[in-house]
């Protein structure tokens, strides 16, 4: 873990729970793409930088989930590097309590206020084209989270953040976290057509071709949607839909799963309603969902 792997003359990634990109910018300066899940990750990154004599000039966050911004504060305090994050992700990075609050739908209980969902605050700035190093481009990847982006380097390496899960993860957990199901499917269709020297998803193996994995992720989304539609042959409230999905997929409920999977299921319900496959009505002071 935290092994530095070179992909091209200037582009690397650090093997970690969520892969961290590293790109040489010249004259000993480097930038990171994300920073790992906590202060310990930041320390290990700093050790890699020091061993190579590299100077960290900036962190480019793909999105604001805690496992991608958790090392920000430590590294910024240690090196004075700048941090850039796209769109709404910048606000979540500056005020990370927004993540567990958003997931829970209110002030999060203590069980959700920990480093896996609540990173430390860092001084992020809005990502603009002018903020990117020469030869870099940002690739919009909405769906998994609000304004997630990937990055293409001058070496033609594309860092894809969380827009793809590995087959093993999907087969084991079945439901991956999503904010906007419709936009996520559009993103995957776009990603299928991308070409690059190498792709680096945060939670799957680096590969020269990721079209098959993108299609597998598309199939997983539709499978979850069909399962929800099957459950809603009879009118069900959200809690009943969630309970039945956990039973079908053999998942164990706790606060984290309730927040993460619950938020995702609400997104599926909204998408299925907006696309005309579910109806929703209030009855007995309950919001009931039913197959159209």
CATH of the domain at 238: 1.10.10
Q: Are residues 160 and 126 part of one domain?
A: yes
Which of 174, 191, 222 is the endpoint of a domain? Answer: 222
Low-confidence residues of the chain: pLDDT under 50: none
What distance separates the 2 farthest-apart alpha carbons in the chain? 67
What pLDDT sits at residue 182? 98
What length does the chain have?
A: 292
CB distance 211 to 281 below 8 Å: no
CB distance 58 to 72 below 8 Å: no
Q: Are residues 81 and 187 part of one domain?
A: yes
What pLDDT sits at residue 22? 98
Q: Which helix (H) or strand (E) holds 200?
A: strand 198-203
Q: Are residues 162 and 273 part of one domain?
A: no
CB distance 73 to 66 below 8 Å: no
Query: Vertex 82, ends 76 and 86: CA angle to 5°?
Result: 115
Q: Which residue has the tokens 């030869």?
A: 135
Residue 65 in domain: yes
Q: No. of H helices and E strands in the chain?
A: 10, 14
What pLDDT sits at residue 82? 98
Residue 110 class from Cβ within 10 Å (0-12 exposed, 13-18 middle, 19+ buried)? exposed
Q: Round to whole Å and give the CA distance between 224 and 204.
A: 20
What pLDDT sits at residue 54? 98
Of 61, 89, 62, give the one whose Cα is nearest residue 73.
Answer: 61
Residue 159 in domain: yes
Domain count of the fold of the chain: 2
CATH of the domain at 62: 3.60.15.10
Q: Are residues 265 and 236 part of one domain?
A: yes
Q: Are residues 191 and 271 part of one domain?
A: no
What pLDDT sits at residue 71? 98
Q: Are residues 155 and 101 part of one domain?
A: yes
What pLDDT sits at residue 152? 98
What pLDDT sits at residue 116? 96
Tokens of 6: 């070179």
Q: Round to whole Å and give the CA distance between 96 and 119.
A: 6
The pTM of this model reads 0.97
CB distance 156 to 194 below 8 Å: no
Q: Are residues 247 and 205 part of one domain?
A: no
Residue 145 class from Cβ within 10 Å (0-12 exposed, 13-18 middle, 19+ buried)? buried
What pLDDT sits at residue 118? 97
5: CB partners within 8 A, 6+ apart = 12, 13, 14, 15, 206
Q: Which domain holds residue 277?
A: 232-291
Q: Are residues 57 and 148 part of one domain?
A: yes
Q: Are residues 197 and 86 part of one domain?
A: yes
What pLDDT sits at residue 32? 99
Q: Are residues 240 and 121 part of one domain?
A: no
The 8-class DSSP code of residue 130 comes to: G
What pLDDT sits at residue 2? 95
Residue 159, SS3 per DSSP: strand
Q: Are residues 53 and 179 part of one domain?
A: yes
Residue 262 in domain: yes
């Amino acid at each position: 873990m935290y092994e530095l792997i070179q992909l091209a003359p200037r582009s690397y990634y650090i093997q970690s729970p969520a892969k961290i990109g590293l790109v040489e910018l010249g004259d000993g300066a480097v930038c990171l793409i994300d920073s790992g899940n906590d202060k310990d990750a930041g320390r290990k990154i700093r050790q890699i930088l020091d061993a190579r004599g590299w100077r960290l000039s900036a962190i480019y966050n793909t999105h604001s989930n805690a496992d991608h911004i958790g090392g920000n504060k430590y590294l910024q305090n240690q090196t004075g590097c700048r941090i850039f994050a796209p769109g709404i992700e910048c606000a979540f990075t500056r005020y990370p309590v927004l993540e567990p609050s958003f997931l829970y739908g209110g002030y999060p209980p203590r069980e959700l206020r920990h480093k896996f969902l609540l990173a430390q605050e860092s001084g992020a700035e809005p990502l603009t084209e002018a903020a990117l190093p020469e030869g870099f481009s940002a690739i919009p990847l909405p769906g998994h989270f609000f304004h997630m982006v990937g990055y293409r380097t001058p070496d033609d390496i594309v860092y894809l953040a969380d827009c793809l899960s590995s087959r093993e993860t999907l087969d084991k957990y079945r439901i991956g976290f999503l904010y906007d199901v419709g936009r996520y499917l559009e993103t995957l269709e776009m990603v299928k057509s991308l070409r690059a020297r190498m792709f680096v998803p945060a939670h799957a193996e680096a590969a020269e071709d990721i079209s098959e994995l993108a299609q597998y992720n598309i199939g997983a989304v539709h499978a979850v949607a069909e399962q929800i539609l099957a459950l809603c042959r009879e009118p069900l409230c959200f809690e009943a839909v969630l309970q039945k999905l956990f039973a079908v997929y053999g998942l164990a409920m706790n606060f984290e799963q309730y927040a993460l999977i619950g938020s995702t299921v609400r997104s599926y319900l909204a998408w299925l309603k907006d696309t005309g496959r579910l109806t929703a009505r209030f009855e007995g002071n309950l919001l009931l969902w039913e197959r159209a």
